[in-house]
């Protein structure tokens, strides 16, 4: 079965015209030099993005602000190699697939601290408000050698707003679906101390998330971000706290009437960290980070599968961690070495089943960044003693070579793993004897960069063994069990082109991949074989104009209404933004999402927003 997308012909013409426009631009225009971003996620140390040997994307504060996005997923959907599946509109369950891997194979960090739940699924991207984000660092490919379980497809590190300088910012927004948003932030920085505070509130009526339903799925979110730091002699003390809480209406299974019905749930996500950094010598820096992460969902309707006393479903993950990292510089060699400990408590009351599962993990990790003649290398290894995954040895080998000053090539490979979570083992269809999912990946790239842009080609392959799937082992009695049955192989190519010409900024990426289950040669669900993303930006004096285009081919899926296998049609999505700087302190921002009013789905059976609008007033002092 295939879902035909309306406006497909119109969309194809728009795509062709836009690509032709990009390719025909006169490169004789006066060009601006491209700034190089600094990131820490790829190697656990500060590095220029040009010097990092693996595929990375950095999205800075200005880009986040000019996107007009209402949650993290709305930003990530335009990144090469990333696909988003969303069960409807604002606040609905959202999945991220990086380079064709599973939705629970991407590790999401808040300021370097893991926020993935230990119960089910991936991190709650739909609850992360862009108003609290300073920048986003994305590393594609395995990184279990540095971060442990779940970093199979890659890592997304959300760096929250910090005190670059003393300032006050406020924003008021209103848009379609009765969307209202208010945010305020204040930062203070003086010699030796700093503090920042951000408060953001969203409320929307949303729209009916399920295709055959009419009641709107409303959502609200109150987010808070705090940071404070103090420099004392050779030490720095830093405290960070982020939290998001609110309520989301959605369509789920009514256990009393055995029908799909509108339900609602309260959520709360938080990450708190205290870090002490000591400069033990000119060449040795040591940092100890104590952190707590919490992921809580509480249903507001009774679950009648709990008999004879119905209860409200509730799932919660609380994770306590200690990370001791040392950075040592010896001549041209940079060594990172550390130890990590975590205790994760996962509790669940859901669909008549209950469990409480504490899990501990201990790890030692090390990496070395070293020149080997004309070859730059980064080697990393991690030994993990995981209570459920057992002993795991993860590694990365990253190599780079400069052919000329502007032309580089490289090869990366690595082994990663994902430990079965508590729901895999004890939830619906739970199996306590599950094996650990393990992967090996390899990629090669060619990278040409100038002061005005560049071109990058990357070829990648990932093989995953012992993938966990839910299997109907008794069709008569409808009994399912989680089993290590699947093996997957993902092969792909990523192309990226970036150019900055005077007031024009053009970014185009394309991904072609073959995400397959090698057990039966089927396509992996919700992953497209081809995607194209283009972002055109133009400054007109005080006005900044932007146009984003996302084209995706068809995807295999399971329809949420009929439960039948389907092939969701491809689509083209266009968004337009404009920012007008009224004076030094005041600006107007407007956006039109889904400019073509395309009917499409990123999760079969669930609606996505029709053409919609948003207007914002921003004040900065």
Burial letters for 272-302: b for 16+ Cβ neighbours within 10 Å, e otherwise? bbebebeeeeeeebbbbbebebbbbbebebe
C-alpha torsion sign, points 466, 467, 468, 470: negative
> Would the pLDDT of 5 be above 70?
no
Question: pLDDT value at position 36?
Answer: 67
Non-local (6+) Cβ contacts of 378 within 8 A are: 43, 53, 367, 368, 369, 370, 396, 397, 398
Phi and psi dihedrals of 569, rounded to 5? -65, 155
pTM of the predicted model, to two decimals?
0.93
C-alpha torsion sign, points 9, 12, 13, 14: positive
Q: Which domain holds residue 188?
A: 8-620
Non-local (6+) Cβ contacts of 363 within 8 A are: 148, 339, 340, 341, 382, 383, 384, 385
Residue 221's alpha-carbon distances to 17, 53, 70, 91, 181, in angstroms, are 39, 38, 11, 8, 9
- Under the banding of pLDDT at 50, 70 and 90, the label for residue 35 is low
| % of the chain residues with pLDDT over 90 | 78
Q: What average pLDDT does the chain have?
A: 91
What is the C-alpha separation between 311 and 325, in angstroms, rounded? 44
Q: Is 350:303 a contact under the CB 8 Å cutoff?
A: yes
> Would the pLDDT of 471 be above 80?
yes
What is the C-alpha separation between 582 and 618, in angstroms, rounded? 10
Phi and psi dihedrals of 74, rounded to 5? -65, -25
How does strand 390-402 pair with strand 113-114? unpaired
**Residue 422 DSSP code:** H
Strand partners, 365: 338, 382
Cα-based angle 476, 481, 485 (whole degrees, multiple of 5): 115
Phi and psi dihedrals of 58, rounded to 5? -120, 125
- Under the banding of pLDDT at 50, 70 and 90, the label for residue 341 is very high
Establish if 3 belongs to a structural domain.
no
Establish if 140 belongs to a structural domain.
yes
What is the C-alpha separation between 73 and 567, in angstroms, rounded? 23
CA-wise closest residue to 496 among 61, 140, 80 = 80
Condensed to tens digits (0 to 9), the pLDDT of residues 398-415 reads 999 999 989 999 999 999
Condensed to tens digits (0 to 9), the pLDDT of residues 207-235 reads 999 998 999 999 999 999 999 999 988 89
Establish if 1 belongs to a structural domain.
no
Condensed to tens digits (0 to 9), the pLDDT of residues 277-335 reads 999 999 999 999 999 999 999 999 999 888 888 999 999 999 999 999 999 999 999 99
What is the C-alpha separation between 43 and 146, in angstroms, rounded? 8
**Residue 21 DSSP code:** H
CATH number at residue 195: 2.40.170.20
C-alpha torsion sign, points 96, 101, 103, 107: negative
Strand ranges inside 451-568, DSSP E? 453-474, 479-501, 504-517, 522-523, 530-540, 543-552, 555-558, 565-568
Please report how many Cα atoms fall inside a 13 Å half-sphere around the Cα of residue 598, on the Cβ side.
Answer: 29
Establish if 271 belongs to a structural domain.
yes
**Residue 89 DSSP code:** S
- Under the banding of pLDDT at 50, 70 and 90, the label for residue 28 is very low
Non-local (6+) Cβ contacts of 154 within 8 A are: 81, 98, 99, 101, 106, 107, 138, 139, 140, 141, 142, 143
Condensed to tens digits (0 to 9), the pLDDT of residues 72-90 reads 999 999 999 999 999 999 9
- Under the banding of pLDDT at 50, 70 and 90, the label for residue 22 is very low
Q: Is 306:349 a contact under the CB 8 Å cutoff?
A: yes
Residue 405 burial (C-beta neighbours within 10 Å; 0-12, 13-18, 19+)? exposed
> Would the pLDDT of 364 be above 60?
yes
Residue 424's alpha-carbon distances to 98, 355, 509, in angstroms, are 21, 11, 35
Establish if 2 belongs to a structural domain.
no
Measure CA 217 to chain center: 23
Give the chain's domain count.
1
Establish if 213 belongs to a structural domain.
yes
Strand partners, 506: 499, 536
Establish if 444 belongs to a structural domain.
yes
Establish if 364 belongs to a structural domain.
yes
């Amino acid at each position: 079965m295939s879902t035909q997308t309306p406006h497909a012909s119109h969309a194809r013409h728009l795509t062709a015209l836009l690509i032709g426009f990009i390719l025909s631009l006169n490169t004789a225009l006066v060009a601006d030099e491209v700034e190089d971003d600094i990131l820490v996620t790829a190697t656990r140390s500060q590095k220029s993005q040009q010097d990092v040997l693996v595929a990375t994307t950095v999205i800075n504060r200005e880009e986040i602000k000019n996107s007009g996005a209402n949650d993290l997923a709305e930003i990530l959907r335009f990144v090469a190699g990333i696909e988003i599946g969303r069960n409807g509109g604002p606040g609905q369950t959202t999945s991220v697939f990086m380079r064709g891997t599973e939705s629970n194979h991407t590790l999401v960090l808040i300021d370097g601290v893991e926020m993935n739940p230990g119960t089910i699924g991936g991190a709650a991207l739909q609850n992360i408000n862009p108003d609290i984000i300073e920048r986003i660092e994305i590393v594609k490919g395995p990184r279990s050698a540095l971060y442990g379980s779940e970093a199979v497809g890659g890592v997304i590190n959300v760096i929250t707003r910090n005190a670059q300088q003393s300032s006050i910012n406020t924003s008021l927004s209103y848009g379609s679906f009765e969307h209202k948003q208010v945010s305020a932030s204040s930062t203070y920085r003086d010699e030796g101390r700093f503090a920042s505070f951000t408060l953001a509130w969203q409320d929307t009526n949303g729209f009916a998330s399920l295709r055959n339903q009419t009641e709107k799925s409303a959502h609200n979110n109150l987010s808070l971000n705090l940071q404070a730091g103090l420099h004392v002699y050779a030490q720095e003390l830093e405290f960070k706290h982020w939290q998001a809480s609110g309520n989301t209406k959605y369509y789920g299974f009514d256990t009393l009437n055995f029908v799909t019905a509108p339900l609602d749930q309260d959520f709360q996500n938080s990450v708190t960290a205290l870090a002490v950094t000591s400069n033990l010598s000119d060449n040795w820096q040591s940092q100890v980070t104590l952190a707590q992460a919490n992921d809580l969902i509480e249903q507001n309707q009774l679950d009648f599968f709990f008999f004879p006393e119905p209860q409200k479903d509730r799932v919660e993950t609380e994770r306590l961690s200690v990370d001791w990292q040392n950075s040592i510089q010896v001549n041209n060699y940079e060594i990172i070495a550390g130890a990590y400990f975590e205790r994760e408590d996962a509790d669940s009351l859901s669909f008549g089943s209950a469990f409480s599962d504490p899990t501990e993990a201990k790890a030692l990790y090390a990496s070395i960044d070293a020149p080997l003649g004309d070859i730059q290398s980064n080697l990393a290894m991690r030994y993990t003693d995981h209570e459920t995954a057992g002993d795991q040895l993860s590694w990365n080998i990253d190599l780079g070579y400069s052919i000329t000053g502007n032309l580089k090539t490289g090869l990366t490979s690595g082994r990663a793993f994902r430990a079965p979570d508590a729901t895999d083992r004890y939830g619906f269809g739970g199996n306590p004897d599950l094996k650990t999912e393990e992967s090996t990946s390899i990629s090669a790239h060619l990278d040409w960069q100038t002061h005005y842009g560049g071109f990058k080609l990357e070829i990648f392959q990932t093989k995953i063994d012992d993938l966990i799937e839910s299997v109907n082992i008794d069709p008569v009695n409808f009994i399912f069990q989680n089993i290590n049955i699947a093996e997957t192989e993902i092969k792909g190519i990523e192309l990226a082109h970036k150019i900055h010409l005077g007031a024009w900024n053009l970014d185009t990426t394309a991904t072609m991949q073959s995400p397959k289950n090698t057990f039966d040669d089927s396509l992996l669900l919700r992953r497209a074989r081809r995607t194209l993303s283009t972002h055109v930006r133009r400054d007109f004096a005080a006005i900044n104009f932007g146009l984003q285009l996302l084209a995706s081919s068809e995807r295999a899926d399971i329809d949420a209404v009929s439960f039948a296998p389907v092939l969701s049609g491809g689509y083209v999505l266009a968004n337009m933004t404009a920012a007008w700087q009224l004076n030094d302190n005041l600006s107007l921002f407007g956006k039109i999402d889904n400019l073509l009013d395309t009917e499409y789905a990123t999760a079969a059976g669930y609606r996505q927003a029709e053409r919609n609008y948003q207007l914002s007033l921003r004040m900065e002092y």
